[in-house]
Amino acid sequence: MSWAAHEFEHYFLQKHVGVKASFFGLVVGASVPDLFTKRFVYAAQNPAQFHRGWPGMGWTHSFIFGLAMAILVLALTRSRNWAVGILIGQWAHVATDVCDTAGVMPFFPFSTQSFSISMWKHAAASGRHGDAAAYYSSLGGVWDLFWFVMVVLFARNVLKAEYFRRVVVPADIGVWSFFHRRLHLSANGMLVVYRAYFLYGFSRMTAWFLYARFEVKVPWQPWWGGPGYLPGNDLSDAGPGEMVLRTLIGGVLFCIFVWLLWIVFVRRLWNRGYDPAVTTRGKGLRAVFH
């Protein structure tokens, strides 16, 4: 599983969606897969199977779950920005979790094949602290650092107060008004809330890295499939070719399913949805990214 990368991704995605998605939609979408599972993962008999597998809660880490949530939110609130935010946030979470040995079932239920590139070991079986130490001793920690650097180098403007006022607030005026009027947060306080995920990501990345190096002193092994001091936790015994083929078949079926959903009723929901005054959408991917 990824740790701080999930927080940094919000800001990188925010740069690319601008006023076409709600920032909180992104956050909720990216948080929900682990919100449903993380609390119970460390107590499970087989944490990797429970977290990512089937039978288990692996469906929370599939594209169809994000799609279902987005459709539900669009139907209930009619807010396109929230639906788009949730969809992109959840899909980004799924794509990121492909990197560890447990992988994800991206096209569940059309394929229950776990897809993984095994960059680092899924170490939830070692408990919460052991998991943190293992993650920050492997390429997982480097992955977090990579996303931190990506945000700082290429998306740092989204952290600025001016961007927050000009883009983030108008894209989701309802939620920010709630913070302002009901929770009595100042403009500066809301800016802190917006930046908090970035600060949280940086803090937990640093703290757990220091914990792994100086507290439990586990070896730092940032190479493919590390850390070496833990056993592997693969959910699938399929070879790479078989894994790709099964996932591709699932992907094709998933695309057909999404297209059918769009024709049958999602297009109608989308058309009756509303956008904030500042949002103008183009066709295709331009409807979501700017």
> Which residues of the shown chain bind another protein in the complex (CB under 8 A)?
7, 31, 129, 132, 165, 169, 176, 180, 184-190, 192-193, 195-197, 199-200, 202-204, 206-208, 210-211, 215
Q: Which one, 14 or 247, has the nearer CB to another protein?
A: 14
Pick the closer one to another protein by CB: 76 or 192.
192
Smallest distance, another protein to C-beta of residue 226, A = 22
* Complete DSSP assignment for 7-62: HHHHHHHHHHHGGGS-HHHHHHHHHHHHHTTHHHHTTSSSHHHHHHSTTTTGGGGS
Q: Cβ 87 to another protein, closest distance in Å?
A: 20
For residues 157 and 203, which CB has a smaller minimum distance to another protein in the complex?
203
Contact present, 143 and 99 (Cβ < 8 Å): yes
* Beta carbon nearer to another protein, 182 or 283: 182
Q: Minimum CB separation from another protein for residue 194, in Å?
A: 10
Instruction: Considering the complex, state which of residue 1 and residue 71 has its C-beta at the smaller distance from another protein.
Output: 1
Give just the sign of the alpha carbon dihedral 137, 143, 147, 149. positive
Which residues are CB-contacts of 248 (< 8 A; sequence separation ≥ 6)? none
Closest distance of CB 203 from another protein, Å? 4
Helix (H, G, I), strand (E, B) or coil at 274: strand
Spatial contact of 207 and 102, defined as CB atoms under 8 Å apart: no
| Least separation in angstroms between CB 196 and another protein | 4
C-alpha distances (whole Å) from 157 to each of 21, 128, 163 are 17, 34, 7
Taking the CA atoms of 249, 250, 252 and 256 in sequence, report the sign of the dihedral they define.
positive
Smallest gap, in angstroms, from Cβ of residue 187 to another protein? 4
107 vs 198 by CB, closer to another protein: 198
